[in-house]
Chains A and B, each alone.
Chain A
Amino acid sequence: MTDAERQRRRTRIRRASMFAVAFVLVAVSWELYKAVGPEKGGTIFGTRILARTDDRAMPHIWDMFSRFSESEVRGGEDSVFVVVLRAAWYSFRCALAAFVAGSLLGIGLAVLMARFRFFERALMPYLVISQTVPIIVLAPLIFSLMAYNSRELASKTWLAAVLLGVFLAFFPVAMGTLRGLQTTPSAPLELMDSYAAGWWKTLWKLRFPNAVPFLAPALRLAGAAAVVGVTVSEISLGVRYGVGRLILSYGQEATSDPPKLYTAVFGAAALGLVMAAVVVGIDRLLMRNRPPEAV
Chain B
Amino acid sequence: MENSMTVSSPEAGTSPAVAIRGVNKIFNQGKPNQVDALVDIDLDVQPGEFISLIGPSGCGKSTLLRLVADLLEPTSGSVTIHGKSAHQARVDQDYGMAFQQSGLFEWRTVERNIELPLELKGWDKAARRQRSQEMLELVKLPEFAKHMPWQLSGGMQQRIAIARALASHPKLLLMDEPFGALDEMTREHMQAELLRICAAAGTTVVFVTHSIPEAVYLADRVVVMSPRPGRITEIVSVALGRDRSELTREATDFFARVTEVREALRGIEMADHAKGIDDR
Q: Which residues of A contact B (CB under 8 A)?
A: 185, 187-188, 190-191, 193-197, 201, 205-206, 209, 212, 289-291, 294
**Docked-complex contact A290 and B107, CB < 8 angstroms:** yes
Q: Is the CB of A196 within 8 A of B90?
A: yes
Q: A190-B97, A205-B120 are in contact. List 9 more A-B contacts (CB 8 A).
A: A187-B99, A190-B103, A191-B99, A191-B103, A194-B69, A205-B119, A206-B105, A209-B105, A290-B107
Please, could you name 30 A-B residue pairs with CB atoms under 8 Å apart, sorted by A?
A: A187-B101, A187-B103, A188-B105, A190-B71, A190-B97, A191-B97, A191-B99, A191-B103, A193-B71, A194-B95, A195-B93, A195-B116, A195-B117, A195-B120, A196-B90, A196-B91, A196-B93, A205-B116, A205-B119, A205-B120, A206-B105, A209-B105, A209-B107, A289-B107, A289-B148, A290-B106, A290-B107, A291-B148, A291-B150, A294-B106
Residues of A within 8 A of B116 (CB): 195, 205
**CB-CB < 8 A to A194: which residues of B?**
69, 71, 90, 95, 97
Interface of B is mostly: loop
B interface residues, Cβ below 8 angstroms from A: 66, 69, 71, 90-91, 93, 95, 97, 99-101, 103, 105-107, 109, 116-117, 119-120, 148, 150
**Which B residues are in CB contact (< 8 Å) with A196?**
90-91, 93
Structural contact, A190 and B99, CB atoms closer than 8 A:
yes
Whole-angstrom distance between the alpha carbons of A128 and B150 in the complex? 37
* B111 CB, nearest partner CB in chain A, Å: 13
Instruction: Name the residue of chain A whose CB is nearest to the CB of B66.
Output: A190
Shortest C-beta distance, A61 to chain B (Å), equals 47
Q: Which residue of B lies closest to A195 (CB)?
A: B120
The minimal Cβ–Cβ distance linking A197 to chain B, given in whole angstroms, is: 5
A201 to B66, CA, bound (A): 21
For A205, what are the chain B residues with a Cβ–Cβ distance below 8 Å? 105, 116, 119-120
Number of A-B contacts (CB under 8 A): 48
For A191, what are the chain B residues with a Cβ–Cβ distance below 8 Å? 97, 99, 103
Residues of A near B90 (CB, < 8 A) are 194, 196
B148: A residues at CB distance < 8 A: 289, 291
Provide the bound-state CA to CA distance between A195 and B94, in Å.
Answer: 9
Q: Which residues of B contact A289 (CB under 8 A)?
A: 107, 109, 148
The minimal Cβ–Cβ distance linking B8 to chain A, given in whole angstroms, is 22
Inter-chain contact A201/B120, CB cutoff 8 Å: yes
CA distance A294 to B106 in the complex (A): 10
B contact residues around A190 at 8 Å (CB): 66, 71, 97, 99, 103
Of B100, B106, B148, the most chain A CB neighbours within 10 A belong to B106
- Minimum Cβ distance to chain A for residue B39 (Å): 24
Across the interface, which residues of A come within 8 angstroms of B103, CB to CB?
A: 185, 187-188, 190-191
> Which 6 pairs between the two chains have the least Cβ-Cβ distance?
A187-B103, A291-B150, A187-B101, A196-B91, A188-B103, A187-B99
Task: Chain A residues near B66: list those with CB within 8 A.
Answer: 190
Expressed in whole angstroms, the Cα–Cα distance for A276 and B187 within the complex equals 47
For residue B97, which residues in chain A have a CB less than 8 angstroms away from its CB?
190-191, 194
Instruction: Give Cα distance in the complex from A205 to B101, angstroms.
Output: 18
**Once the chains are docked, how many angstroms separate the CA of A294 from the CA of B149?**
14
Name the residue on B nearest A191 (C-beta).
B103
CA distance A197 to B117 in the complex (A): 9
Q: Which residues of B contact A290 (CB under 8 A)?
A: 106-107
Q: What are the residues of chain A within 8 A of B109 when measuring CB–CB?
A: 289
Who on chain B is nearest to A189 by CB?
B103
In angstroms, Cα B30 to Cα A250, docked, is: 73
